[in-house]
Structure 1
Amino acid sequence: MSNEINDSLIKDDFYNAVNGEWIKNATIPGDHSSTGGFMDLVDNIDKTLMSDFDDLQSGKMKPQNDDMGEFKKLYDLAMDFDKRKADGAKPLLPTLQRIEDVKSYDDLNNQLSDWTFSGLPLPFSFGIEADMKNAKYNALYASGASTFLPDKTYYDKHNPAGAKLMPVFKEMSQKLLTMVGYSDAQAKNIVDSAEEFDRMIAPNVKSAEESADMTKMYNPMKFEDLAKQVKVFNLMDYVKGLVGQVPDQVIVSEPAYFKAFDSFVTEDNFAKMKNWMLVKVVNGSSDLLSEEFRQIGGQFSRVLSGKKEATKPKKAAFYLASGMFDQVVGDYYGRKYFGEKAKQDVHDMVVKMINVYEKRLENNTWLSDDTKKMAITKLNALGIHVGYPDEINPLYHQFKVTGKEDGGDLYNNVENISKIIIKHNFSKWNKPVDKSLWDMSANTVNAYYSPMENVIVFPAAILQAPFYSLKQSSSQNFGGIGAVIAHEISHAFDNNGCQFDQDGNLNNWWTKEDHEHFDKLAQSMIKEFDGIEFAGQKVNGKLTVSENIADGGGLSCALEAAKGEDDCNLRDFFVNWATIWRTKSTDEFKKLLLSIDVHAPSELRAQVQVKNLDDFYKTFDITPEDKMYMKPEDRVNIW
């Protein structure tokens, strides 16, 4: 690795000193919007699993369990491109007819709960999550609708991206509507009218920046009061159909949306809303139909992300089937390619990082003793999930696929499985939260912290080089997976996580003075990133603050752990930190992420955080004359 490093550049541009050679030679595949550390792992895992599933299809490999048998049937249907072509739009037509047959709000109210079970769009959304103030139990949440463009900021008349993207979205939608049987004139009318309705929704939903503050999601109100705000829909009967009774309370994540609801969801706008539904459904279903539908239906996302071509048919079929059976595929991947030994090894590493974190909390100079004690209690209550779950979520045992030989098609099978998932979600209302369930499958290259469960999860897929390998030095591993582990632990104490206690309840366990001090530190992290020029735009320090706090805490704790090892080499540590973030992306993708992603751009995650650490300056002999230098008073150290 060190051969490729440009030592003469380290003091001025650390990220490019480490990754410049790689960036120069890296090519973004036509069906990708980026390539690099994370994406390379994704591509390799996809390749491995697709090769295994070729054997599963041919019969060379037998399904290990009944769930894999059902997955195989869905995969066979997804891969049967001839049948999908022959079926054309036919599988979707009954769903479109169902929307067309609704002539009034009364018609819709008569089937409203089944409408949601069927996965059909409405101008609001209900779901079940842990109650933020009583995290042992699941509660009912209500939120607004999703818009055609990725964020409300795209609808601002001064946003050039929105002006460019909406015509692409409309043209694609019109084409899809003609492919399902509407005339050109009908398709144009439907899409124009749907856009009008979409533009009425946009000002009232939260932006990505507004959604980044989790505590603002918690707005409990009496269900009856919410039902009164929504005149044209019978929410009392609706919710009874969803959860079996009318709950006393609902948690409203977007109160402003429901206050404005009756101003745009009106009798006069019924036809527009219906057309908005048609557009959403035809777009959302295009990848379940023929290859032509999939190609056309992906045009908007390709323009949005800068992909030059659609994902290859075979890979798209793999994504589709494995997406429906994600935990089943993850279980297969984890057991075959990760195993119990690595699971234990990484678990031990997580425990080691928690111990480092505990010491740091004990030695913290700005927290009061009471807050410190509670922070350590929360840390010790942290649940750890590594590799893959001990068993497959029982929900997946309910997925039964009607194969081709029994007249099954891809669209209807996916619709049936989706219905099982949605019904299962609503059945959890008012029941205890099951903290053993994972939100990611083992073949996902990622990790997460859940504040309402106080658990950290590290799927098997991320636990490989350059993040982690038995062939790497301990310093390299701490600069890679160690920093990722500590990043997830730090989320328990970021601007969102610090508002939740050890049981996952939204509960202020800080003294007033401690909180004020923390807010000042968070403000300095916002300032450190806010306004940095990137891809012709500027970084939003407020949108990215929680991830930046977690990066800072994660890197600093991993550094301390690395220094505790006999073979400590801080150059290796920092170089691997920069290596895991190496990325080459399309300009379009960079701009999209700047608008909606709570993470700072990868390059800046590597480049800015190291400047906060004294050891970085010592390791590379950085002085005030160097561009990588940051004045000590500007360096941000929170955890």
Structure 2
Amino acid sequence: MKQLQFAAGTSSDHNENTRLQDDFYAAINAAWLKTAKIPADRPATGGFQVLVENIEKTLMADFAALQATGAPDKPLLNEFLKYYTLAADFKQRDVQAAAPLQPYLRRIAKYDNLADWQADLKDWLLDGLPVPFALDVDADMKNTKINALFAGAPGLFLPDKTYYAADNPSGPQLLQVFQQMMQQLLTMAGYSAADAQLILEQAIAFDKSLAPHVKSAEESADYSKMYNPQSFSEFTAHSSQIDFGRLLPELIGAQPEKIIVSQPKFFAAFDEIITNENFNLLKSWLIVNTVRSMSGYLSNDFREIGGIYGRALSGSKEAMKPQKSAYYLAAGQFDQVVGDYYGHKYFGEAAKADVHKMVIKMIGVYKQRLQNNDWLSADTRKKAIVKLDNLGIQVGYPDAIKPLFKKFTVNTGASLLVNAMRFTHIAIADNFSKWHQPVERTEWEMSANTVNAYYHPFRNIIVFPAAILQAPFYSLEQPSSANYGGIGAVIAHEISHAFDNNGALFDEFGNLHNWWTAADTAHFKALAQAMITEFDGLPFAGSKVNGKLTVSENIADAGGLSCALEAAKGEPDVNLTTFFTNWAKIWRTKAQPEYQQLLLAIDVHAPAKLRANVQVQNFADFHRTFNIRPGDGMYLAPEKRVSIW
């Protein structure tokens, strides 16, 4: 799934004397960059993040009022309010301290070997507790009408396997922060200092043993390498210790004919990692992951200390205030319920219909551009248009909340953690129950109050939650050129994902299927390489951009901006200065250096400043509009400009 997400910006470019011909982003955003402050509890601020903060304040105020009165005739919202109240009751959470965690630690303590753990593994996995592998149900990539079983690798303590490399100086520094945090959490959970130190040493040793065999962020960004189907017998043979032959049918209710393995290298090494000899290391890894994952549901001290490592990664200076953390925890659990409330109250059917029309218009512009494309063969062009004609559109909020949320009933007499773990069990069981069932193509995977958008290649749908459909992205009060430079480019960005280096692998039904001629494929790969080259190695925040990691998003940005530009030029009130200016404004961002470094290593999006600056350099209209000439910092010679869609 491709998503338009936050990317690192800049915390230093605020010279108001910057010429836009030399640095368009810095000149357009100079006044904002000079005065904008990053909130202490966040890693960044900017166009996206300010909307997030405004929505957060609005909804927290609304829900505070509703907690007093209740929500008549809205049973799901009332369950959310109960959970929110439970999450915000830090007096009770502080009294309970580590007590809600203890049953899970006692459960781990009973395991003396892999056989003991194996006997409990089905329930352990359904409870959402840590395992050194990943199982999931999603659309079969070659038959997306039916859900299939996927198997992958677990996450690591460090953000990416590359942090464990000997030449990565950030790895040891972050690992030290992680160790210090976990030492505190483990002693708070009741372990002696010596036991906590031993548990940490063993857990890190196990985590390091996983790292050589899992994919890096760059490797994971290539969707073509995800589909590695294995027969039931092939997959179950990967382990002589974990009885996958028993576990998988227990989880999905039948023996699957195949399992789609997203990380075959990991499972090829699985039997060397998960051994009885390594069990104590694995057991410690289970303890560390369990304590860490549950710390946010315990006392305020647990919550704040449990966030130290995350704040070191992001550069955030402070933990969220207790009430705000409770809001995010509860809203995350009841995301569609909160999104439904937000969508109906602050977006509504009229705006939903208006934006839907705009999406249809952008698809029309895109179709015309495909019809006029001068490098695709007629056969591939025809199939591209078929894919576009079958593109699903979801705007604002779902027509109905998923039935799953009706199962989330809050037990106000139990702890927050007990409620959370029960909800997790329900959600995981629900996911496994979908195996071999028809895919719900229209199911939303993002709540309406999320400032984001996405394209789902397995379903060939584009989704625009209500929260992003506001100024500066979109407003009836803005000129059409500003809207096209904002939401128009975002809409076309998501459409372009259907034809980026990953999306182009999937057909109109979302199936992994080659619909390109060999010559068109070769030409497209050459254009994609040009986009890789355009970004690869660009200096930013003391490091460099990885062109391969970010290529799909850069292709989508280029296609989105190109399509939106054409749409803007078709309006009677076109103003290209306004168009390009709003494009630069939506990407304005200030981010902590730590966050910039993290995103450069793992994020498929280029830094926001470069998304704003590099893409516009590819357009003759930009050069003409702002009189960009050779010698200017923003000038790019015509022969170096990259144009794909």
User: TM-score interval w.r.t. the shorter chain?
Assistant: over 0.9
The answer on whether the counterparts of 2:19 and 2:27 sit within 8 Å (CA) in structure 1 is yes
**Matched ranges for 1:214-363 at <5 A:** 214-363=223-372
Question: 1:422 & 1:515 partners in 2: Cα distance?
Answer: 39
Q: Residue 515 of structure 1 aligns with which residue?
A: 521
Question: 1:568 & 1:539 partners in 2: Cα distance?
Answer: 34
2:28 pairs with 1:18: yes
Corresponding residue to 2:395 among 380, 383, 386: 386
Corresponding residue to 2:88 among 79, 84, 102: 79
2:170 pairs with 1:161: yes
Corresponding residue to 1:465 among 467, 471, 479: 471
1:177 maps to a residue whose letter is L
2:368 maps to a residue whose letter is K
**Matched ranges for 1:547-626 at <5 A:** 547-626=553-632
Question: 1:395 & 1:287 partners in 2: Cα distance?
Answer: 24
The answer on whether the counterparts of 1:298 and 1:310 sit within 8 Å (CA) in structure 2 is yes
Q: Residue 542 of structure 1 aligns with which residue?
A: 548
> What secondary structure is seen at the aligned counterpart in 1 of 2:237?
helix
> What secondary structure is seen at the aligned counterpart in 1 of 2:135?
strand
1:376 maps to a residue whose letter is I
Q: Residue 123 of structure 1 aligns with which residue?
A: 132
The answer on whether the counterparts of 1:288 and 1:294 sit within 8 Å (CA) in structure 2 is yes
The answer on whether the counterparts of 1:173 and 1:283 sit within 8 Å (CA) in structure 2 is yes
2:84 maps to a residue whose letter is Y
TM superposition score normalised by structure 2: 0.97
> What secondary structure is seen at the aligned counterpart in 1 of 2:549?
coil
Question: 2:611 & 2:116 partners in 1: Cα distance?
Answer: 52
Corresponding residue to 1:213 among 222, 233, 236: 222
Question: 2:398 & 2:214 partners in 1: Cα distance?
Answer: 35
> What secondary structure is seen at the aligned counterpart in 2 of 1:9?
coil
Corresponding residue to 1:110 among 106, 116, 119: 119
1:169 is displaced (CA, Å) by 0.4
CA RMSD of aligned residues (A): 1.0
1:50 maps to a residue whose letter is M
Question: 2:275 & 2:15 partners in 1: Cα distance?
Answer: 62
The answer on whether the counterparts of 1:6 and 1:18 sit within 8 Å (CA) in structure 2 is no
The answer on whether the counterparts of 1:325 and 1:396 sit within 8 Å (CA) in structure 2 is yes
1:63 is displaced (CA, Å) by 4.7
> What secondary structure is seen at the aligned counterpart in 2 of 1:35?
strand
1:64 is displaced (CA, Å) by 4.4
Q: Residue 57 of structure 1 aligns with which residue?
A: 67
2:18 pairs with 1:31: no
Question: 1:7 & 1:595 partners in 2: Cα distance?
Answer: 32
Question: 1:216 & 1:270 partners in 2: Cα distance?
Answer: 31
Q: Residue 9 of structure 1 aligns with which residue?
A: 19
Question: 1:82 & 1:430 partners in 2: Cα distance?
Answer: 46
Question: 2:200 & 2:192 partners in 1: Cα distance?
Answer: 12
2:584 maps to a residue whose letter is A
Deviations 1:31-64 (A, max 9, x none): 01000000000000000000001011112x5254
Gaps of at least 5 residues in structure 1 are: none
2:635 maps to a residue whose letter is Y
> What secondary structure is seen at the aligned counterpart in 2 of 1:544?
helix
1:112 maps to a residue whose letter is L
2:459 pairs with 1:453: yes
1:274 is displaced (CA, Å) by 0.5
Question: 2:210 & 2:17 partners in 1: Cα distance?
Answer: 52
Corresponding residue to 2:535 among 523, 529, 537: 529
The answer on whether the counterparts of 2:550 and 2:606 sit within 8 Å (CA) in structure 1 is yes
The answer on whether the counterparts of 2:15 and 2:34 sit within 8 Å (CA) in structure 1 is no
The answer on whether the counterparts of 2:47 and 2:589 sit within 8 Å (CA) in structure 1 is yes
Deviations 1:388-446 (A, max 9, x none): 0001111101111101xxx2210000000011000000000000000121010000000
Question: 1:308 & 1:36 partners in 2: Cα distance?
Answer: 17
The answer on whether the counterparts of 2:199 and 2:284 sit within 8 Å (CA) in structure 1 is yes
> What secondary structure is seen at the aligned counterpart in 1 of 2:510?
coil
Question: 1:55 & 1:618 partners in 2: Cα distance?
Answer: 53
The answer on whether the counterparts of 2:46 and 2:587 sit within 8 Å (CA) in structure 1 is yes
Deviations 1:516-573 (A, max 9, x none): 0000000000000000000000000000000000000000000000000011000000
1:21 is displaced (CA, Å) by 1.4
Q: Specify which structure has the bigger relative contact order, considering alpha-carbon pairs within 8 angstroms and separated by 6 or more residues.
A: 2
Deviations 1:454-478 (A, max 9, x none): 0000000000000001110000000
Q: Residue 414 of structure 1 aligns with which residue?
A: 420
Deviations 1:75-122 (A, max 9, x none): 110011100001110011001111111111111121211111011111
Q: Residue 100 of structure 2 aligns with which residue?
A: 91
Q: Residue 48 of structure 1 aligns with which residue?
A: 58
1:182 is displaced (CA, Å) by 0.5
Deviations 1:293-329 (A, max 9, x none): 0010000000111010001111100000010000000
Q: Residue 637 of structure 1 aligns with which residue?
A: 643
1:329 maps to a residue whose letter is V
Question: 2:469 & 2:395 partners in 1: Cα distance?
Answer: 9
Question: 2:267 & 2:294 partners in 1: Cα distance?
Answer: 28
Question: 1:129 & 1:384 partners in 2: Cα distance?
Answer: 20
1:7 is displaced (CA, Å) by 8.4
2:151 pairs with 1:142: yes
1:16 maps to a residue whose letter is A
Count of matched residue positions in the alignment of Structure 1 and Structure 2: 632
Question: 2:72 & 2:194 partners in 1: Cα distance?
Answer: 49
The answer on whether the counterparts of 1:388 and 1:459 sit within 8 Å (CA) in structure 2 is yes
> What secondary structure is seen at the aligned counterpart in 2 of 1:493?
coil
1:625 is displaced (CA, Å) by 2.1
The answer on whether the counterparts of 2:18 and 2:26 sit within 8 Å (CA) in structure 1 is no
Question: 1:6 & 1:97 partners in 2: Cα distance?
Answer: 60
2:20 maps to a residue whose letter is I
> What secondary structure is seen at the aligned counterpart in 1 of 2:613?
helix
2:625 maps to a residue whose letter is T
Question: 1:200 & 1:111 partners in 2: Cα distance?
Answer: 24
1:5 is displaced (CA, Å) by 11
1:8 is displaced (CA, Å) by 6.3
1:181 is displaced (CA, Å) by 0.6
> What secondary structure is seen at the aligned counterpart in 1 of 2:617?
helix
The answer on whether the counterparts of 1:447 and 1:488 sit within 8 Å (CA) in structure 2 is yes
Q: Residue 480 of structure 2 aligns with which residue?
A: 474
1:178 maps to a residue whose letter is T
2:591 maps to a residue whose letter is S
Question: 1:451 & 1:569 partners in 2: Cα distance?
Answer: 34
Question: 1:547 & 1:238 partners in 2: Cα distance?
Answer: 38
